[in-house]
Amino acid sequence: MNQPNLLKNKRILVTGGGGFLGWAVVQRLLEKGALVCSFSRRSYPLLAAAGVDQVQGDIGDPEAVAAACRGVDTVFHIAAKAGVWGCASDFHRTNVVGTRNVIAACTAGSVETLVYTSSPSVVFDGKDMEGVDESVPYPDRYPAPYPQTKAQAEREVVTAAGTGLKTIVLRPHLIWGPGDNHLVPRIIGRARHLRRVGDGRNLVDTVYIDNAADAHILAAEVLKTRPELSGRKYFISQGEPMPLWEMINAILEAAGLPPVRKSISLRTARRLGGVMEILYRFLRLENEPPMTRFVAEELATSHWFDIGAARRDLGYRPVVSTAEGLLRLARWLDPSRSKGSKIKT
């Protein structure tokens, strides 16, 4: 029996609709027959070609956000400042102030539902996290502005659920796939200088772009039929934990590059990261250091999460396996690659 299409002909706003995840969500919404609008700093040709209305503005400007939210049924708040380095005030303006503006605009504009894209880094404490669920607490301290500001914004979205706005928080972990403009290019760009940090046995789960987009659509639909789930948080991943460095090497293989063979200890990487952080701050360098303490800890520890709640409440199923996703990634990176090629996982 076909499920009812709850988003058809609904006017839906996607903040950051021209980004990697934003565009994937926009495509799903268009397939559902939704009337999609994107809010971003600039105009995107791919959105224009798809017939998506585009509103240009700064997420930190409350009036611009309020105007974009008028007459909207549902908002997917995906826009964010990501990264492991940068000015704390910039992260705060985009991630915290921007989210406050979205919440206020939703409330003032009688928006029915808000799906907020968070990150598992909001609970990362620098230690192994293996199979933890959404009950794991926020840490007392954060090693970088990104997780700190995303955690603050996440809290405010959860609080907003108590004021009548129906909200769900999603925590997709390390999104990758064709069209990726962050994780995959970062790995490929640093391939020659990558060093395995730690013993290489740390398990990490990721999420393929199509699965991450599916989770967002499911969250919006569920909020329309099960309002009691408002204010909940959900980890989203492949549900297939694997050694982090095997995954990195698989992405390198998809790009036709050799695997990472050299390694350094976590202790050495953390010390190196600390020195580089001091040096880059002293010299006021804007570029990201080759290593930070936050990155060292992420590369050496296990971080994978129990997605049972998303399976149970949202009906989430990672349709595209990691192996299939890697094949699709390889074909995107090199369209001439044979469909029959194999990527080891």
Split at pLDDT 50, 70, 90, the class of 212 is very high
Q: What is the pLDDT of residues 31-83, one digit of tens each?
A: 999 999 999 999 999 999 999 999 999 999 999 999 999 999 999 999 999 98
Share of the chain above pLDDT 90, in %: 80
Split at pLDDT 50, 70, 90, the class of 29 is very high
What the block records as the tokens of 209 is 């772009």
Helix, strand, coil % (nearest 5) of the chain?
45, 15, 40
Residue 146 known to be catalytic: yes
C-alpha distances out from residue 322 to 27, 258, 263, 328, 345, Å: 21, 20, 25, 10, 8
Q: What is the mean pLDDT of the chain?
A: 93
Q: Rounded to the nearest 10 degrees, what angle do helices 98-108 and 62-69 cross at?
A: 40
Query: Could you give the domains of the chain?
Result: 11-176+206-240+303-320 (3.40.50.720)
Task: State residue 290's pLDDT score.
Answer: 85
Report the pLDDT averaged over residues 152-169. Answer: 95
Catalytic residue from among 44, 116, 142, 146: 146
Alpha-carbon span 92 to 98, nearest angstrom: 8
Split at pLDDT 50, 70, 90, the class of 336 is confident
Task: State residue 338's pLDDT score.
Answer: 53
What is the spatial order of strands in the sheet that 35-40 belongs to? 53-56, 35-40, 11-15, 74-77, 113-117, 166-172, 232-236
Q: Whats the size of the chain, residue-wise?
A: 345
Compute, in degrees rounded to 10, the torsion defined by CA atoms 220, 228, 133, 299: 30
Task: State residue 1's pLDDT score.
Answer: 46
HSE, CB side, 13 Å, CA atoms: give it for residue 26: 27
Q: What is the pLDDT of residues 289-305, one digit of tens each?
A: 888 888 898 899 999 99
